[in-house]
Structure 1
Amino acid sequence: MEILLIGGLWLDGTAWDAVAPALEALGHRPRPVTLPGQGDGHSSATLDEQVAAVLAAVDTAAEKPLLVAHSAACTLGWLATDARPERVAKLVLIGGFPNEDGQPYADFFEMRDGAMPFPGWGPFEGADSADLDEELRQRIEADAIPVPEQVARGVVRLSDERRYEVPVVVVCTEFTPEQAREWIAAGEAPELTRAKNVEFVDIDSGHWPMFTRPAELARLLGAVAAGQ
């Protein structure tokens, strides 16, 4: 199965370098998506351009792909699903939940010179980063790409309620499936509250399992792709 991989904030396609070969070994066709403004040198990219990049990958897939989105990009995956509900086989959300219509995409941290740089590890202390050793922390921070302001502050626009028909799998990273179910039931992730088919799988990791648990993540995604 073709598996489209979308990294979260500050990440480019190389974030999946340890996951993609493991997926290939399982017989799948992984395709990391390079997002405008996050790996192509386009520092003035917009949210619409990032959505367009994901849609181009969906549209050129030979079959309905498995769409995998990480962290803040869970909203990006949801936007693509809203735009192509008939083309996405299933949406996997790693460590995040989609924002609602009208909300900013990811206006979380200070902007500098038209972009949102990685804020350091302070905001992520605790369960988010507990499984990152010092070498990984330094590598991730060194490779982090400032997210263009027009991406981070772009406004989410959703229009096709057929998105709620697309099966969703929530990969629970620094939180448990029980917590995720409670949040959704309480209306803290309204888009998933309305989704018709939501499953939960656990992975023993912090917020970045593509770096800390790549083989386990690949096996999990392979099982989802195989319908297991």
Structure 2
Amino acid sequence: MTKKTESPTILLIAGHWLGAWAWDDVREHLDSAGSHAVAMTPPGLDPDDPQRAERTLDDQVTAILDVLARNGVSASTPAIVVAHSGANFPVSLLLDRHPELVRRVVWVDSGPVAAGSAFAADLPEDVQDLPLPAFDVLAQQASLEGLGAEVLARFRARAVPEPGPVLRQHVDLANGARNGIPTTLVCCSIPSAQLLDLARGGHPMFAEVTNLEHLDVVDLPTGHWPMWSRPRDLAEVIRSAASHTG
């Protein structure tokens, strides 16, 4: 890969229930290091959008493309795209449709999704959106390690219900070029050794990792929301990933 000397745009996209605000601490560290970091709120997660519960993954991809274009990203100046948790669905679509716009993808306690998959295909059609569950329920699905009472209170206060169409939509992936994009896996709630074993074993959540052609793996032990539990360390991992030339 041709060496890039300019500082690339770093686009930060958080997972379910979260907007751009979730990256505030990480952005502060990236900005102080001279990086050009931009956080976005995907369609469906803006509490002031009266039609937010109708937004789809396609709407989210369109919005990502708009943010990239407004920040000067093109095939000649591709971006670093950072996807946390459930942001892997719209970002997997982005990589499939426009691999030329992404210099490197950084999956934060996340990873690429398989063609034809959906986050919650069985979610009933009459369910408009999915609110943030009680934390004792959420803790059974994802680690809350490192999150104190103040952080959890902010999470609860600012979380926006995830749109039903986003959760139900199956992703249509057909472009193998997405697997050639340099990739960094940031493993937080699951150690990298365990994750890679699961991937090699064909686990449906991780099997796509075995198709990646240029993979770096970083362990950042903490819970599922490292942007709050270890923001400085996550920012350094992202900054280091952005500096890679291959």
TM over 0.5: yes
Map 1:1-228 → 2, pairs under 5 A: 1-39=8-46, 41=49, 42-62=52-72, 63-106=77-120, 114-125=128-139, 128-188=143-203, 189-227=206-244
The structure having more radius of gyration, on CA atoms, is 2
Aligned to 2:99, the other structure's residue is in SS state coil
Give distance in 1, aligned partners of 2:228 and 2:126.
Answer: 27
Percent identity at matched positions? Answer: 32
State the shift of 1:113 in Å.
5.2
For normalisation by structure 2, the TM-score amounts to 0.86
Two-structure CA RMSD over aligned residues (Å) = 2.0
Q: Structure 1 residues 108 and 118, CA, compared in 2 at 3 Å: closer, same or farther?
A: farther
Give distance in 2, aligned partners of 1:113 and 1:179.
Answer: 34
Conservation of the 8 A alpha-carbon contact between 2:57 and 2:89: no
Give distance in 2, aligned partners of 1:4 and 1:108.
Answer: 31
Write the letter of the residue equivalent to 1:132. Answer: L
Conservation of the 8 A alpha-carbon contact between 1:171 and 1:203: yes
Conservation of the 8 A alpha-carbon contact between 1:22 and 1:215: yes
For normalisation by structure 1, the TM-score amounts to 0.92
The count of aligned residue pairs is: 228
Conservation of the 8 A alpha-carbon contact between 1:72 and 1:106: no
**Relative to structure 2, which stretch is displaced further, 54-63 or 84-93?**
54-63
State the shift of 1:159 in Å.
1.6
Alignment gaps of 5+ in structure 1: none
Give distance in 2, aligned partners of 1:108 and 1:26.
Answer: 44
Write the letter of the residue equivalent to 1:4. Answer: L
Give distance in 1, aligned partners of 2:44 and 2:139.
Answer: 26
Write the letter of the residue equivalent to 1:53. Answer: A
Match of 2:5 in 1: none
Alignment gaps of 5+ in structure 2: 1-7
Give distance in 1, aligned partners of 2:80 and 2:120.
Answer: 23
**Relative to structure 2, which stretch is displaced further, 36-45 or 118-127?**
118-127
Q: Structure 1 residues 70 and 106, CA, compared in 2 at 3 Å: closer, same or farther?
A: farther
